[in-house]
Structure 1
Amino acid sequence: MGHRITGVGIFFFLLVHVLDTSLVRVSPDAYDAVIGAYKHPIMIVGEIGLVGAIVFHAFNGLRIILVDFWKQGTRYHRQMLWAVLALWFVTMAAFSVRHLMLFVQGG
């Protein structure tokens, strides 16, 4: 279920990304306004959430491939899920700390 939810979330992000980027051809002022809104401090939470969704989707996708194509995959699917969650947590902890440091420093 988590794989599907993150997939749909990533899809909608990409849809919005394409639409807001296409504004540059229609109205550069509208594009600047949208990009300016993205620089709001609350967007840091959205950025961390987006990266979290992408990282989980990627790690879990590898787990699904192993379950589907590895003979022992169904036997170890629960352990692999815990490994995915552990990898996700470590990756997100490192990313979040670095991302927040850059935000605080203004970079």
Structure 2
Amino acid sequence: MLIFFFLFVHVLDTALVRVSPEAYDDTVAIYKTPVVALLEYGLVAAILFHALNGLRVIAVDFWSKGPRYQKQMLWSAVGIWFILMVGALYPVLGHAVREVFGS
């Protein structure tokens, strides 16, 4: 659902540049707010977990030992997801932190 909403908004704001460049600039300014940065981080989290869990499901379905190791693969996927999300903190939220704390 988040991905659909993101794509819908992205298409609309990109189309807005043809209608009114000033309105487009105002819209992009809204995207630089801390609230939108948190939503963006949530979107990254959802997409990344979905991808890692999809790989786990593929392994369970197509690897003969997959069902036996599905719990371990789940926790491995969660661990990898957590490490990658910690790594995504600064790239995704860095501009919001700078805006809030003014550095």
Cα distance in 2, alignment partners of residues 101 and 28 from structure 1: 26
Cα distance in 2, alignment partners of residues 100 and 27 from structure 1: 28
Is the aligned partner of 1:12 residue 2:12?
no
Residue of structure 1 equivalent to 2:65:
72
1:13-47 deviation line (CA, Å, top 9, x unaligned): 11221121111122222211111111112222112
Q: Would you say how many aligned residue pairs link Structure 1 and Structure 2?
A: 100
More helix by share: 2
Residue of structure 1 equivalent to 2:15:
22
Residue 99 of structure 1: how far off its partner (Å): 3.8
Is the aligned partner of 1:81 residue 2:74?
yes
1:61-94 deviation line (CA, Å, top 9, x unaligned): 1111112211222222221111111111111112
Unaligned runs of 5+ residues in structure 2 are none
Is the aligned partner of 1:58 residue 2:58?
no
Unaligned runs of 5+ residues in structure 1 are 1-7
Among candidates 1, 23, 42, match of residue 35 of structure 2 = 42
TM-score (norm. length: structure 1): 0.78
Moved over 3 A (4+): 97-107
Verify the 8 A CA contact 2:32 2:96 in the aligned structure 1.
Answer: no
Cα distance in 2, alignment partners of residues 66 and 78 from structure 1: 12
